[in-house]
Amino acid sequence: MKLLVFAAAAAAAFLPQTAAPAPARLGVSAREFHLVLSRASLKAGVVVIQLQNDGEDVHDLRVRRIGGVHTFRFPLTSPGDRAELALHLRPGRYSLWCSVADHAQLGMRAVLRVRR
């Protein structure tokens, strides 16, 4: 019996390992004065968010789960540049906004739905 367990374990070592699923990706285009998401919802888990500054002013991005307390922060991004951040998002709704000056009040905000 021990020989069979060892043989099965040895055979398993040579089987291809299943790769972890690739993280979901979300593009966020920032332009005076709105944010455009590449999709309105995505599955919970690791998400790579890419902020593309398509505007003429410097922009950043903040991401917070609605009802949550932790805010993920993207750095200031110059016109034509992009910033990328990998986050682990739980199911729920997330608020995204530009925190530069009064940009959020002028319309640079969006909501993302993260589903199970």
> What's the CATH code of the domain at 50?
2.60.40.420
Question: How many CA atoms does the CB half-sphere of 95 hold within 13 Å?
Answer: 15
Provide the pLDDT for residue 79.
Answer: 98
Nearest to 24 by CA among 45, 51, 2, 7: 45
5 found inside a domain:
no
Q: Which domain holds residue 89?
A: 31-115
Burial class (CB in 10 A: 0-12, 13-18, 19+), 88: exposed
16 found inside a domain:
no
| Averaged pLDDT for residues 108-116 | 97
pLDDT digits (tens, 9 = 90+) for 56-68: 999 999 999 999 9
- How many domains does the chain divide into? 1
6 found inside a domain:
no
Provide the pLDDT for residue 11.
Answer: 45
pLDDT digits (tens, 9 = 90+) for 44-57: 999 999 999 999 99
Three-state SS for 106? coil
> What is the distance between the alpha carbons of residues 102 and 45, in angstroms, rounded to a whole number?
31
45 found inside a domain:
yes
25 found inside a domain:
no
